[in-house]
Structure formats: C-alpha cells, structure tokens
Amino acid sequence: MDDIFNALILLSNFVIVPGMAYGSQLAIGALGVTLIYGILRFSNFAHGDTMAFGTMATILLTWALQDWGVSISPLPTALLALPFGIACTVVLLLLTDRLVYRFLRREKAAPVVFLIASVGVMFVLNGLVRFIIGPNDQRFADGERFIMKAREFKRMTGLSEGVAFKTSQGLTIVTAVIVVAALFWFLNRTRAGKSMRAYSDNEDLALLSGINPERVVLITWTLAAALATIAGVLYGLDKSFKPFTYFQLLLPIFAAAIVGGLGNPLGAIAGGFIIAFSEVTVTYAYRKFLAYSIPGDWAPEGLVQLLSTDYKFAVSFVILVLVLLLRPTGIFGGRTAS
C-alpha cells in the first residue's frame, strides 16, 4: 500500500505541483496575448520581451529594497517591487502604442504589418533589457524558500518519498487565482470591461454605441502590461531570470492562447494548463514511479522518459499543430481561423 502512496507522492512532487505552477505562469502570459489579440487583432511577438522588461524593472527595485534592508519575509521582496515593475511596463507599452501601433491603426494596416512592428518592438526591448541588466541569469528570490520541505513531509507521513512545495509555487498559484478572478470581474462587471468585450466582439457596433476606441486600447495595454509583468516575475521567482528564456517562452504562450482559442480569456487559462501539463508529463522520467507501482522485477531499466527536456518546445509545437489541424479556432472557440 505504501508503494502506491509513494508513487502518487512522487508524481505530485515532480509533475502535479510544478505543472500547476508552470501552468499558472503560462496562463497569465497567454491571457495578455489573448487580450491584445481580441482588441488590437494581432499576435504580439513582443510579449515575451515585455515580460522580461517588467521582470527586470521589478528585479532592479528588489535589489534596491534588499540593499535598504526592506523585507516582507517569509514572502519574497519582489512582491513589494511588483507594483513598481507593473507601472514601468505600463508606461513602456503605452509609449510603444503611441509611437508605433497608433500610427498603424490610423493607417488601417494589415494584421501582418502589426505583427512585423511587434517584432521590431521585440528587438528594441530585447536590446534594452540586455543593455540594462545583461544577458545572464539573475536570481532575485529571497524569503522562505519552502512552504513544505520534502524532509518534513516524509517525517509527517512516514513515507519514503516527499513532496516539496516551494514558496514560489504556492505564490504563483495563489496569485494566478487572484489575477484571474480580478480580470474576469473587470471584464464582466465594470463598464470599462464591458466596453472592451463589446469592442472585441464587434468593432463597428461598439464605435456606433459611442465607445471610445483609444480608451479601450489604453486599458488593454495597461492590462497586458500588468499580466506580462506578473507572469514574468512569477516565472523568474520560480526558476530564474534570463532574457533569452523569456523570448523562448513565446512559443508555449502562443500555443496556450491558440489551443484555448485566440481572443478567448477562459481558453487562454485552460490552454496554459494543457501546455504546461503536457510538457511536464512528457519530459518526466518515470522510472522511479514505475518501480513503485509495478510489483517485483517488472520495473524497467531505463529512465522511461518519453522525450528529453531539451525537446520541451516540441511538446507545445505538437499540440499547436494538432489544434491547427483539427480545430483551428481552438478548443473553446476564439475568433475565426481565417
């Protein structure tokens, strides 16, 4: 009986808990992409680097706070710096909108031109982040590292496997719930949120009803900046901050948004978890799990890893391809596919 418990504990330690945290991070990232898509109608390639920028701003203030001895232990100091990071990113995104995208909107440029412009913005942000903080790994997590250590869990339950629950993971999940609840409250209950949804559903009708499009766009960028920064900081706390990794997060984030249906916030959340859990389950080495769950000498010799972790992008990609082939509007139905 213990073996079965051990197997389950093992799975939750290496698959379920990390998958939940990673899924929440992807979901918040994908929400930003999907909001911009719904309102501005293009896929924002600069989103990964926006996340990097927001995280960088947060990190810089975190370091300053740590220097001044400000701390909210056991929580990481970065949480205190987060509003500042969000504010910086909002300013940045509004600036890019004013300088780049507003001109294209007035021109009524094709979506693909927006896409290219967002690539240009990505370039600039990428250079900016590397220029300010450098291309290397940065650690900025402090405070209590674990909510529950594997050793304590083992002592409590008497099992030979333990569950380690990191603060960053707990924080991520809690934040994700708060962010999603707040976002949906905003979209469904407030006037501004309703005008956003109206604009997303039918632009002409919204304009006729007197909704100010520039205001809707402004709110959208603000929300996207907040979501990007939160996702970036949570990811950075959980793993570490490296500008290039954030650029690479684009693919799973886009995959999550498309799987759920571009422009559909609920879909983005589901998509985030689908991508995260597929990635984690496919790249996990099941040897020990099978050793517990299969009796006697039947346990396999190899690692029993379906794909090496180097190929985790392939997982997002395969899911993306399947969705494009079978259901291009996404599982929850977003905007039309053509």
Partner 1 sequence: MNLTNGNLRPILMFAAMAAALATVGVVQSWSLSLAIMNLCLISAVMSLGVNIQWGYAGLFNVGVMGFAALGGVCGVLIATPPVMAAWRAGGNGIIIALFIALATILAAIFIMKRMPDGRLKKLTFTAVIVAGFFLGRAVFDPAVESIEAIEPAKTGYLGGLGLPILLSWVVGGLLAAAVAWVVGKIALGLRSDYLAIATLGISEIIIAVLKNEDWLTRGVKNVSGLPRPVPYEIDLQQALWFQEWAGYLGATPVEFSSIFVKLCYAGLFTAVLLAVLWLSERALNSPWGRMMRAIRDNEVSAEAMGKNVTGRHLQVFILGSAVIGIAGAMLTTLDGQFIPTSYQPLRFTFIIWVMVIVGGSGNNWGAVLGGFVIWFFWIEAEPIGLWLMDVLTSGMAEDSGLRKHLLNSAAHMRLMTMGLILLLVLRFSPRGLIPER
Q: Which positions lie near partner 1, rule CB under 8 A?
A: 37, 42-43, 45, 99-100, 103-104, 110-113, 115-117, 119-128, 130-132, 134-135, 247-248, 250-251, 254-255, 258, 262, 302, 306, 308, 310-311, 313-314, 316-317, 320-321, 324-325, 328, 337-338
Given the complex with partner 1, which of 291 and 318 has the nearer CB atom? 318
Alpha helix (H) residue ranges in the chain: 2-11, 17-40, 47-68, 78-96, 102-107, 111-133, 150-157, 167-189, 191-201, 203-208, 213-238, 243-248, 250-260, 265-283, 287-293, 312-326
Q: What is the CA radius of gyration of the chain?
A: 21
Tokens encoding 68:
């001044």
Scan for tokens 């992409």, then name that residue. 33
Task: Provide the minimum distance between the beta carbon of 49 and partner 1 in the complex, in angstroms, as a whole number.
Answer: 10
Given the complex with partner 1, which of 74 and 120 has the nearer CB atom? 120
Task: Provide the minimum distance between the beta carbon of 53 and partner 1 in the complex, in angstroms, as a whole number.
Answer: 12
Tokens encoding 131:
């220029």
Task: Provide the minimum distance between the beta carbon of 43 and partner 1 in the complex, in angstroms, as a whole number.
Answer: 4
Given the complex with partner 1, which of 1 and 298 has the nearer CB atom? 298
Task: Provide the minimum distance between the beta carbon of 48 and partner 1 in the complex, in angstroms, as a whole number.
Answer: 11
For 147, the enclosing helix (H) or strand (E) is: strand 146-148
CA gap 38, 24 in Å, rounded:
21
Task: Tell me which residue of 324, 325, 21 sits closest to 168, measured CA to CA.
Answer: 21
Given the complex with partner 1, which of 116 and 218 has the nearer CB atom? 116
The region that residue 304 occupies, defined by phi over 0 for left and psi between -120 and 50 for alpha, beta otherwise, is: left
Task: Provide the minimum distance between the beta carbon of 115 and partner 1 in the complex, in angstroms, as a whole number.
Answer: 6
Buried/exposed code over 29-47 (b: 16+ C-beta within 10 A; e: otherwise): bbbbbbbbbbbbebbbbbb
Given the complex with partner 1, which of 79 and 128 has the nearer CB atom? 128
Given the complex with partner 1, which of 274 and 320 has the nearer CB atom? 320
Task: Provide the minimum distance between the beta carbon of 321 and partner 1 in the complex, in angstroms, as a whole number.
Answer: 5
